């Protein structure tokens, strides 16, 4: 099965057709997608600002990261679930859309980084301030890149 076959199958699925045939379902799902993204980016922003030394400086980094993780996970699951529905409704359009592939690539990198290196740095109290700042900057670039590329999908 090629990538085009997968996109065609998703585009012609009952879910994709149902969303596409409705005048309001896409917008309803988009609201949940934006809520999920807001939760995810908001939690990531709080942790990264703490890594950079701004905000919540009176709280231990490990505690800030631990408290933010459930919000990140809820945001991630809401955004990915709703994103899959949105994708099903316009899969063939996404196939020829470079910002879609940029978003997916950055999402993959952001997830891998967040749940490996970034998470390790927020747990290790002895990590150097330079590594923390670099990790925070990379995380912010990746997550906001996902959001910006997602927004660009509509304009391509």
Predicted confidence at residue 12, as pLDDT, reads 95
Asked if 37 and 79 count as a contact pair (C-beta separation under 8 A), the reply is: yes
Q: Write the pLDDT tens digit of every residue in 51-64.
A: 998 888 888 888 99
- What is the predicted pLDDT for the residue at 125? 63
For 96, phi then psi, to 5°, come to -105, 25
pLDDT (0 to 100) of residue 109: 97
pTM: 0.89
pLDDT for 131: 87
> pLDDT digit string (tens) for 3-49?
999 999 999 999 999 999 998 999 999 999 999 999 999 999 999 99
- Spell 24-38 as b/e; 16+ CB within 10 A means b: eeeeebeebbeebbe
pLDDT digits (tens, 9 = 90+) for 91-135: 999 999 999 999 999 999 999 999 998 888 887 666 788 888 999
């Amino acid at each position: 099965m090629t990538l085009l076959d997968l996109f065609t199958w998703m585009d012609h699925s009952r879910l994709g057709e149902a969303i596409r045939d409705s005048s309001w379902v896409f917008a309803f799902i988009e609201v949940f997608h934006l809520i999920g993204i807001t939760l995810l980016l908001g939690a990531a922003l709080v942790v990264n600002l703490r890594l950079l030394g701004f905000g919540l400086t009176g709280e231990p980094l490990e505690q800030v990261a631990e408290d933010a993780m459930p919000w990140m996970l809820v945001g991630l699951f809401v955004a990915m679930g709703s994103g899959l529905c949105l994708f099903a409704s316009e899969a063939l359009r996404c196939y020829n859309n470079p910002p879609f592939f940029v978003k997916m690539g950055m999402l993959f990198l952001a997830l891998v980084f967040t749940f490996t290196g970034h998470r390790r740095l927020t747990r290790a109290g002895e990590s150097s301030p330079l590594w923390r700042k670099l990790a925070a900057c990379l995380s912010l670039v990746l997550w906001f890149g996902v959001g910006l590329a997602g927004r660009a999908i509509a304009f391509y």
